[in-house]
Amino acid sequence: MAVCVTCGNDYYMAFEVRTVGGGTYTFDSFECAIQKLAPVCEHCGTRIVGHGAEVSGRFYCCAHCARTADAPIGFEVRDAVGAYPG
């Protein structure tokens, strides 16, 4: 069996995740993988599981949080592709 790097559970259905940077991690659940690998929103602190938004190298979970950033003039964040810019 393999031990989860996040919670320490020794689980027969554990799985490995290999990152582009060469890291290899063993997890017993997606929840533990998210806790270990997902970036954290710079505004609200939640784990970013979806696409999120990046502003000047800072990561946010959604457009609302991204709007809190010191964005360049003319910068616009939309909640969805093709959203009405109104």
- Where do we find the tokens 């457009």? 63
Q: H or E segment at 11? A: strand 10-11
More confident of the two residues 86 and 22: 22
| Lowest model confidence (mean pLDDT) among 14-18, 43-47, 69-73, 82-86 | 82-86
Over residues 70-85, mean pLDDT: 58
Cα 51 from Cα 55, distance rounded (Å): 13
Amino acid at 11: Y
47-54: Cβ within 8 A, 24+ apart: 53/77
What are 4-56's pLDDT values in tens digits? 999 999 999 999 999 999 999 999 999 999 999 999 999 999 999 988 888 87
Global pTM value: 0.74
> Beta partners for 17?
25
- Whole-angstrom Cα distance, residue 5 to residue 2? 9
